[in-house]
Each structure stands twice: as structure tokens, then as C-alpha cells.
């Protein structure tokens, strides 16, 4: 049975351009409407089939988009250009900061169908952005539009991901990494809230549970929640065991991730830190008011807008880059 979005469709028209864009972004809604009219339909169909076959795939595709866009190289304009899809010993996908990233086969499947429909037209970078959008909708999240017209980058190296955000970094350092990409503190909080779907591994929990500064567990963990985490990720246990990043809501896109952060039930350390900083705490609290559903900001709509913002980081358009024949290799 097809997965159907459960939230009201939200259409976002955002022309955000981050300060690191080397040229004025030339993205637009319906970029392929005349050159490949079925492009979005094809991507949606592939994503839907993939999510039906693997319930974790929605979160995987959402993460893939983030990792494609959010690379950290001073003075070099890497962004949403499909560089993470390239295969090779020194390619970006093999960087430590990209460990565990998956979903490449889904993008390649969509690309093959698009090449059959309209050869040399749709970029891999756009497929990644559209797939993430569809993954959010298929998880019950907001339905939103993304501007397309990205072109694929011509470089891919592990050095591009040497300074990716890490869950153990101080909150100010994490904030700065997003600000450096032209994203706001609000974007930072909302993009972290993508953890509303998906899992993390016990590998990332060990220090938080057993080796936090002072030799104890992270004090931000609710005492009621701590035994649950320890049971799932016991000391010296299997670090590959996975647990939902949003307690009791692994496959459903909703705002429970924010309530968990507020109440000390955040699984991922960097999520918990959002409630230890005045700026980020205010953003989290802004969605938690008793009348929020009537007069407050809308979590789904704002998340969609932040996704659109992220998807425009250092894009390549016009005559830049290329349209790859296959996503895993340069032409």
C-alpha cells in the first residue's frame, strides 16, 4: 500500500542564498517542466518503492542530502552538488565524517530511469534534493517544493568532509558551522530535528553513557531514560546496535523530537545540547506552547523552509559543473 503524507501539504517558495554561493543561484521551481516533465514523478516513484521495501530508507535519504550539502572546507565552495555520490578510494563518501551514509543505490536507480526518459538532463544533485523532500513527505512530514537546476560538481575528495559537525562538539562550535554556511540558529535547530526519523548506533552513545567528562553519564539525560539507554547500549556491548534517534517515534515525522529534547529524552548528544544554549532553547520552546497549533510557528512548515535553505548551499548552476551520466562517476 502506498505511503501517504499525513500532514497538510505545505508549499514553500524560498529564494534564500547563502553567503558562500560563488554565483547567484539560478534555481527555480519546475526547472525540468519542459526538458523532462516526468522528472519529479520518476524520483517520487523510486523513493516510494524504496521506502516501502526498507522502512529506514526515508531517514537514510534525508541524511544523504544533508551530507551532500554540508561539507566543511575553508575557502572552497563545496555544497549540494552530488559530490558525495562519486565512487573511488579518495572520494568524499569515504571520509570519516560521512561514515554510515547510505542510499546511493536509490539515487542511482532514479538516475538510470531518468536517463532512459530524458538523457543528460537531470542532475544527480537535484535527484538527491528531490529524494529527501519525498522521503520527508512519505514519513508523514510536510509536502514542499524544492527549486531545481543544480549541476553536478567536478571534484570529490575525502578532504571535503574533514570538519563535518560532530555530535560531541560544543554547542557554540556546532552553531558556528551552520552560521558559516549562511544558515540561521533556527535552521540549525530545525535541521537537527530531522532526527525525528531514523536511528543512531550505540557507537555514538558510549561516551555519553559511560565516559562523559567526570567519568559518569551525561547529566542532561533524564534519570528515567538513562536505564533504558544503558539496557540498549550496555557498557562493552555491541556498538553496532541501533536505536531510534527520536524515542518511540523512529518512522514518523513529528515534533516529538523537540519535546524529547526539552524533557531530557534526547538520544543524540548534540540534540540534547540544543536545550543547554539560550538561543537554541528559545527556538525549541517556540514550538512547545499550549496554543502553538493555533498561534505559534508551524514546525512542519519551518522545517521545510530550513530544508530549502540548506539545499541551496553553494549550488552549481548554469554552465558550472556537469550533468553526470551516472551518479557514481564523472563524465
Interval 9-55: pLDDT, tens: 443 334 343 444 444 458 999 999 999 999 999 999 999 999 999 99
Q: What percent of the chain has pLDDT over 70?
A: 91
Angle in degrees, CA 13, 120, 104, rounded to 5: 75
Q: What is the pTM of this model?
A: 0.91
Backbone angles phi, psi at 200, to 5 degrees: -130, 165
165 is in an annotated binding site: yes
Residue 42 CB partners (closer than 8 Å, separation 6+): 110, 113, 114, 117
196 is in an annotated binding site: yes
Which uninterrupted H or E stretch holds 282?
Answer: helix 278-286
User: How far is Cα 303 from Cα 65, in angstroms, rounded to an integer?
Assistant: 14
Compare 234 and 7 and report the one with higher pLDDT.
Answer: 234
Compare 79 and 245 and report the one with higher pLDDT.
Answer: 245
- Asked if the model's pLDDT at residue 122 lies above 60, the reply is yes
Please report the pLDDT score of residue 3 as a whole number: 34
- Hey, which residues does 285 pair with through a beta bridge? none
> Domains in the chain, start-ordered, CATH in brackets?
39-163 (1.10.520.10), 171-306 (1.10.420.10)
79 is in an annotated binding site: yes
Average pLDDT in the 63-87 region? 84
Contact 11, 300 (CB under 8 A): no
Question: pLDDT per residue over 196-226, tens digit each?
Answer: 999 999 999 999 999 998 889 999 999 999 9
User: How far is Cα 92 from Cα 85, in angstroms, rounded to an integer?
Assistant: 8
| 3 state DSSP class of 62 | helix
Q: What percent of the chain has pLDDT over 90?
A: 80
Question: pLDDT per residue over 152-208, tens digit each?
Answer: 999 999 988 888 899 999 999 999 999 999 999 999 999 999 999 999 999 999 999
Which one of 65, 67, 94, 98 is the catalytic residue? 67
Catalytic residue check, 94: no
Grid cell for residue 116: 532512459
Grid cell for residue 156: 570529490
User: How far is Cα 239 from Cα 235, in angstroms, rounded to an integer?
Assistant: 9
Which residue carries 524515542 as its cell?
Answer: 247
Amino acid at each position: 500500500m502506498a505511503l501517504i503524507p499525513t500532514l497538510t501539504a505545505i508549499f514553500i517558495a524560498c529564494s534564500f542564498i547563502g553567503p558562500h554561493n560563488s554565483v547567484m543561484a539560478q534555481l527555480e521551481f519546475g526547472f525540468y517542466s519542459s526538458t523532462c516533465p516526468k522528472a519529479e514523478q520518476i524520483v517520487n516513484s523510486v523513493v516510494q518503492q524504496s521506502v516501502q521495501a526498507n522502512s529506514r530508507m526515508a531517514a537514510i535519504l534525508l541524511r544523504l542530502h544533508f551530507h551532500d550539502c554540508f561539507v566543511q572546507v575553508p575557502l572552497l565552495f563545496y555544497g549540494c552538488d552530488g559530490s558525495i555520490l562519486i565512487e573511488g578510494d579518495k572520494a568524499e563518501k569515504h571520509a570519516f565524517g560521512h561514515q554510515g551514509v547510505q542510499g546511493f543505490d536509490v539515487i542511482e536507480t532514479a538516475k538510470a530511469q531518468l536517463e532512459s526518459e530524458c538523457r543528460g538532463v537531470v542532475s544527480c544533485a537535484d535527484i538527491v534534493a528531490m529524494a529527501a523532500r519525498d522521503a520527508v513527505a512519505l514519513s508523514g512530514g510536510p509536502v514542499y517544493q524544492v527549486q531545481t537546476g543544480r549541476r553536478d560538481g567536478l571534484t570529490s575528495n575525502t578532504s571535503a568532509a574533514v570538519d563535518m559537525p560532530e555530535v560531541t562538539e560544543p554547542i557554540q562550535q556546532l552553531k558556528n558551522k551552520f552560521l558559516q554556511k549562511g544558515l540561521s540558529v533556527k535552521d540549525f535547530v530545525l535541521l537537527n530535528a530531522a532526527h525525528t526519523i531514523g536511528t543512531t548506533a550505540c557507537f555514538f552513545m558510549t561516551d555519553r553513557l559511560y565516559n562523559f567528562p567526570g567519568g559518569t553519564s551525561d547529566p542532561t539525560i533524564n534519570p528515567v531514560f538513562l536505564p533504558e539507554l544503558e539496557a540498549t547500549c550496555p557498557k562493552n556491548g555491541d556498538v553496532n546496535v541501533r536505536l531510534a534517534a527520536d524515542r518511540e517515534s523512529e518512522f514518523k515525522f513529528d515534533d516529538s523530537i523537540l519535546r524529547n529534547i526539552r524533557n531530557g529524552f534526547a538520544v543524540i548528544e548534540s540534540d540534547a545540547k540544543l536545550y543547554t544554549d539560550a538561543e537554541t532553547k528559545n527556538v525549541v520552546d517556540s514550538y512547545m506552547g499550549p496554543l502553538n497549533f493555533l498561534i505559534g510557528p508551524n514546525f512542519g512548515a519551518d522545517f521545510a523552509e530550513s530544508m530549502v535553505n540548506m539545499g541551496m548551499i553553494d549550488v552549481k548552476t548554469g554552465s558550472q559543473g556537469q550533468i553526470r551520466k551516472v551518479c557514481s562517476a564523472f563524465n
